Structure 1
Amino acid sequence: MYASIVFRNGEIWTMNQDNDVVEAVAIKDNKIIAVGSYDEVKHYVHNETDIIDLKGKTMLPGFIDAHLHLMIYGAFQRDVDFKKQQASSIDDVLRLLTERAAQTPKGEWIRAVAFDELALQEQRNPTLAELDSVTSEHPIIITRTPGHIGFTNSMGFARAGITKDTPDPQGGIYEKDTEGNLTGKLIESVYMRFNETAKLTEHELYEAIAIAQEHFLKHGITSVHDAGTYDGDSYRVLQLASQQKKLKIRVYAMIGSLNDCYTFTTNMMQAGVVTGTGNAFFKVGPAKLFTDGSSTGPTIATREGYTSNSKYKGMLIYTEDEVYEVLGKAHAKGYQITVHAQGDQAIELYLNVVERALQEHPRENHRHRIEHAGIAPKDLQHRMKTLGVIPIINPPFPAQAGDIYQQHYGERTNDMYAAKDLLQLGTMCAASSDAPVASCNPMIGIHAAVNRQTESGKDFGVKQKVSVMDAVRMYTYNAAYASFDEQIKGSIEVGKLADIIVLTETLSQVPHKQLQNVKVQLTMIDGEILYQHASY
């Protein structure tokens, strides 16, 4: 058997059980057929074998982002982006929206993302009157970072049939002023459901997928665990895009949505869609619910009051019994299950559900997950380990929002996204960006996991620092394990899929403070080179 491609003269981090670093890899079609020294691999070279000299640069298994929103990420790239466009005041916000309105056909939605009132001079949200002053011919939907709160104008409310007398749904709030009038702010489930009114067309969804794929390939992402689309229509389009080969990245698609996740997940389960159905390119993932809110909102559910407000403990979306009603049944029927849980109260609620489910229906190798696992002190870490729950943490979050976290949660930040503690316990902890909440670039996440500093340069829970090797493992092998795929990907070993990337640097020689500057030179999926830097 001869190789179609051989890579040689590299620093190849296999991420196998022993973390072996080798020199050469041989690939035949879509599989890895040899790993080791060039003397061992050269026997697979034929006169038609393409030999690529790595020139000492590092090769890794393709990055696997264990929690992001592929379609939503792509859609956001089309919107007004307040962070990228450096909005620093309410006037900037209104100007950017007005400019977009002038380019948008009458009646169509104006969408904007990455709003953060703390980045503005006024340190406040836009009022309903201010948003109405932008346009009376377009509905507006603004997404606040990190995607649990939004804002709309009067035309947006009219489109949704919302008035000041509309009752708040469970887990959400239509904010009102002291006189009972709508302010334009949509909190938690209210914002999530509002996206159903402002939904994208099928053409826009395909366009979003294409944009996201281009970005992910550039950053060496070969697989993603999609943590929820908008609704059933977008879930369908995601499957079709994969089936039609318009989407070449591998997808593990959670059974969940941003728009009324409870109903969506229940309906999907009733339809018989089950974890593991699919193939190597598109596979159904865990049944998912939300249990609490946003870490920067801040609306996460904590056991003790916030450091910034001792009387406030955030908000739970559902009760423990309500979560069990869906996920307990899912477990009994053989699903992997997971929840969005950021605060320690929400994490504890979910672990109670998992424990109860396992007591009533014992099951080996269930690999139930917990998305984010934000504030996880020692008692909850040990419960995760004991119950076999896989935490999917977000290394970029402390770098991006650490200063805000320290303000709201104080000493609890030492246990936020607790990579070091979880790995030392032997927990199969995986990493993710939650893009578009944070940058999709895994090297930024690796940098953050290794350095644990905020954007302002302050240390953040430094006892949770991990090695570069451990950080890479969270984005490769551990993430593959979280989707039951460690036998086919996540490491560079004979018989596994040829999903590999080549970096621009020799990773072992890169100073820790410069990790985020490392780029991807080549991305291969299924033996096919899908991205190659112009200089390669």
Structure 2
Amino acid sequence: MADATPPDGGRTHAEARLLVNARFRDPLPPASLHGADLPDAMAVEGGRIVAVGRAAELAPFADRGFIRTDLGGATVLPGFIDCHSHLLLTGIMDLGMDLSVAETLGDVLDMVADAARALPPGGFVRGFRLEELDLAERRMPTRQELDAAAPGRAVLLMHATCHRCIMNSLALKQLAVPRGLPGADTEGGRGNAPFTGLVRDPGILTWVFPAMLRSMERSHLDAAALVAARSALRVGITTAHSMEGGELTPGCSPVLLDNAARLPLRVVCWNQSMDLAEVEQLALPRVGGCICADGELDARTAALFEPYSDEPDNDGTLLYTQQEMDDFVLQAHARGLQVAVHCESERAIDQVLRAIERAQRLEPRIDCRHRIEHFELPTWDQIDRMAAAGVVASMQPAFVESFIAGHRLAHCTSLFGPHRVRRLHPYRAILDAGVRVCGGSDSPVTNYAPLRGMAAAVNHPFPEQAATMAEALRMFTVEAAFSAFEEWDKGRLAPGMLADLVLLGHDPLDVPDTPADVAAVADIAVLGTWVDGQPVTTE
């Protein structure tokens, strides 16, 4: 497989090590094992785990020349796996202007003005991670405000969800946003009126992202890949599933695969295009990622069975017909590919489930592990159908903290009403039904932060839908490996597994079951990240 090449990152795999003075936590043994009950030594050689046990039992490895390495009492887990991210976009945004620090609209406009002054006339200001609900004014800037803040410069500010953006007049011109682009707002909603500068689904996916990427040099994309990889390693991620290519980021799958061998972590590339010839040319065993069946919940473009509670004429948007989705899934399924499709809500989930169920009837296969990405607002019946079809739910628990819990819950209730809102991220129902759940971040939508995701899955605003910490850990280890047919190499601390490790300052399974203590899991220190049995630098 083209994306299975082990990372190099300047490391040698020759050193055999005996790791001691640590607590080695495998995600599968009983969670009741704590402290001194856990193994305290591990032998690694050739990039793989050779043995795990008590230090006295493994002492003979030192006599065989294994380098004794003291881990200072750390808790050691399998390296985390992020099952849904956009590595290149993450790096692009990390290299750009971070608007998440803004507290007011004035802060945003000041940052834009400062960036504009540093550019020549005609230059392009790009800002990312803008969330209007975090601003005192609780609104996005207007096209006119951006024009005034950056005269003679183009400005594009991307919303935190990446499903909306606001542009000024020069950016609309430089990106050649066409009249009639679906999702491009016009003044008063009139087709011949000037653009407001706001673009949402589907236009942001089909036009804005591709146009933005075409304006970037290849060297910038290469640098972005490395920056994002180091960000992931700093939080203990040793494998990142990266959704690239397709309409959203055309041409980026080859960029990622070209960079894979020099990146200091492993990548699993998903080419998010319905063009199966392109997937075959890339020699990938999977297809999809952000092939978007619908839009995004907060933008009110996710496809619902009933209208949004605050917009009675809007039930969201399906981006494909049932026939189009049926044909794509069947063709990919018949070729033996693993399929993943973005479905945030009920109507999109139903469309894709129907397509998968139909494909399996027409072309029966064993253990396909097709995935639905996000799966944020399913019906109870859809959860049962997922289990029956063996479809994996690829979910992003940090969304709970970022977009649902706390002060955001009132906003979500205004979108969906008091009954539907209780079906947002229903982990307990999903897990109890037997659906396999793998965890991700959707970085850059939320930052790479598996521990934060684990804490969010447990600290659910609706306690009846909370996962346990042991289940949350498995989402980013065992289940994550399963979701890519990698369970024989990753996700566990057992002989024969890759020696991809994360060293933590505390055991996340050894915290009291109180909201405050669970929340603190997000802040557990990552003391080190190892790939192929060697520590990896993140600088």
TM-score by length of 1: 0.88
Q: Give the secondary structure class of the aligned counterpart of 1:113.
A: strand
Partner of 1:461: 462
Partner of 1:376: 378
Partner of 2:237: 221
Partner of 1:473: 474
Post-superposition, which runs of at least 4 consecutive aligned residues in structure 1 deviate over 6 A? none
Aligned mate of 2:20, from 8, 33, 58: 8
The correspondence of residues 478-517 of structure 1 with structure 2, limited to 5 A, is: 478-510=479-511, 511-517=517-523
The correspondence of residues 285-364 of structure 1 with structure 2, limited to 5 A, is: 286=288, 289-364=291-366
Q: Any stretches of 5+ residues in structure 2 without a counterpart?
A: 1-13, 512-516
Residue 50 of structure 1: CA displacement? 2.5
Partner of 1:156: 171
| CA RMSD in angstroms, aligned pairs only | 2.2
Partner of 1:191: 204
Partner of 2:194: 181
**One-letter amino acid of the counterpart of residue 28, structure 1:** E
Note closer, same or farther for the CA distance 1:126–1:532 as it changes in structure 2 (3 Å cut): closer
User: Is residue 70 of structure 1 aligned with residue 87 of structure 2?
Assistant: yes
Note closer, same or farther for the CA distance 1:386–1:274 as it changes in structure 2 (3 Å cut): farther
Residue 47 of structure 1: CA displacement? 6.6
Note closer, same or farther for the CA distance 1:507–1:144 as it changes in structure 2 (3 Å cut): closer
Partner of 1:405: 412
Partner of 2:278: 268
**One-letter amino acid of the counterpart of residue 144, structure 2:** A
Distance (Å, rounded) in 1 between the aligned partners of 2:158 and 2:376: 21
User: Is residue 421 of structure 1 aligned with residue 429 of structure 2?
Assistant: yes
**One-letter amino acid of the counterpart of residue 495, structure 2:** V
Partner of 1:249: 265
> More displaced, 411-420 or 472-481?
411-420
The count of residues paired between Structure 1 and Structure 2 equals 503
Residue 288 of structure 1: CA displacement? 5.3
The correspondence of residues 15-54 of structure 1 with structure 2, limited to 5 A, is: 15-16=27-28, 21-46=38-63, 48-54=65-71
Partner of 1:456: none
Partner of 2:3: none
Residue 106 of structure 1: CA displacement? 3.3
Is 1:3–1:45's contact at 8 Å kept on the other side of the alignment? no
Residue 11 of structure 1: CA displacement? 2.2
Is 1:323–1:353's contact at 8 Å kept on the other side of the alignment? yes
> More displaced, 363-372 or 4-13?
4-13
Distance (Å, rounded) in 1 between the aligned partners of 2:507 and 2:360: 45
Q: Give the secondary structure class of the aligned counterpart of 2:481.
A: helix
TM-score by length of 2: 0.88
Aligned mate of 2:130, from 105, 108, 115: 115
**One-letter amino acid of the counterpart of residue 177, structure 1:** G
Q: Deviations over 1:154-213 (max 9, x none)?
A: 2222223335xx2234xx344443552210011112112212222221111111112111
Distance (Å, rounded) in 1 between the aligned partners of 2:473 and 2:530: 17
Q: Give the secondary structure class of the aligned counterpart of 1:7.
A: strand
**One-letter amino acid of the counterpart of residue 388, structure 1:** G
The correspondence of residues 84-123 of structure 1 with structure 2, limited to 5 A, is: 84=101, 86-89=102-105, 91-123=106-138
Q: Give the secondary structure class of the aligned counterpart of 2:84.
A: strand
Q: Give the secondary structure class of the aligned counterpart of 1:126.
A: coil
Is 2:230–2:264's contact at 8 Å kept on the other side of the alignment? no
Q: Give the secondary structure class of the aligned counterpart of 1:434.
A: coil
Q: Give the secondary structure class of the aligned counterpart of 1:59.
A: strand
Distance (Å, rounded) in 2 between the aligned partners of 1:18 and 1:120: 44
Is 1:24–1:35's contact at 8 Å kept on the other side of the alignment? yes
User: Is residue 131 of structure 1 aligned with residue 146 of structure 2?
Assistant: yes
Q: Give the secondary structure class of the aligned counterpart of 2:260.
A: helix
Residue 519 of structure 1: CA displacement? 1.4
User: Is residue 448 of structure 1 aligned with residue 456 of structure 2?
Assistant: yes
Percentage identity across aligned positions?
A: 26
**One-letter amino acid of the counterpart of residue 327, structure 1:** V
Distance (Å, rounded) in 2 between the aligned partners of 1:185 and 1:436: 20
User: Is residue 168 of structure 1 aligned with residue 181 of structure 2?
Assistant: yes
